[in-house]
Amino acid sequence: MGKYVVTKTSNGQYRWVLMSVNGEKLITSEAYVSKQNCLAGIASSKLSVADSNFRKLNSTRNEPYFNQVANNNQVLGTSEMYSSSFSRDMGIESVKKNAPNATIEDRT
């Protein structure tokens, strides 16, 4: 089972990272002003696992990555850059598998 790790940024905001079972970072959230909003973002991420909740993108260097979006199209989290489209697609599948039942580890 994966886990969401909640941390506090250097400027006092909150962020979460979804980690896979093997400890690999899958997606990182935007910064939230409040911890409550950060936890609400996690709740939304856990529910937003349909194919339509993922945007497959390429960086300016043509590196594949993806965003997970809520049903209102707000970005919930962004992946790392991948070496191939196949690896990116496997990252999306890992989010779909890990997010719904992931635990929350609060490191704030």
Phi, psi of 9 (to 5 degrees): -80, 170
Domain of 25, CATH number, reads 2.30.29.80
Instruction: Write out the two tokens for 70.
Output: 């809520």
pLDDT digits (tens, 9 = 90+) for 6-39: 999 999 999 999 999 999 999 999 999 999 999 9
pLDDT of residue 1: 84
Return the C-alpha torsion angle 99, 100, 105, 108, nearest 10: 80
Q: Is residue 108 part of a domain?
A: no
Domain count, the chain: 1
Residue 62 neighbours by CB distance under 10 Å: 7
pLDDT digits (tens, 9 = 90+) for 60-77: 999 999 999 999 999 999
Domain that includes residue 95, residue range: 3-103
Global confidence as pTM: 0.93
Q: Is residue 34 part of a domain?
A: yes
Residue 51 in this model has a pLDDT that exceeds 90? yes
Instruction: Write out the two tokens for 16.
Output: 């979460």
Phi, psi of 77 (to 5 degrees): -160, 160
pLDDT of residue 57: 98
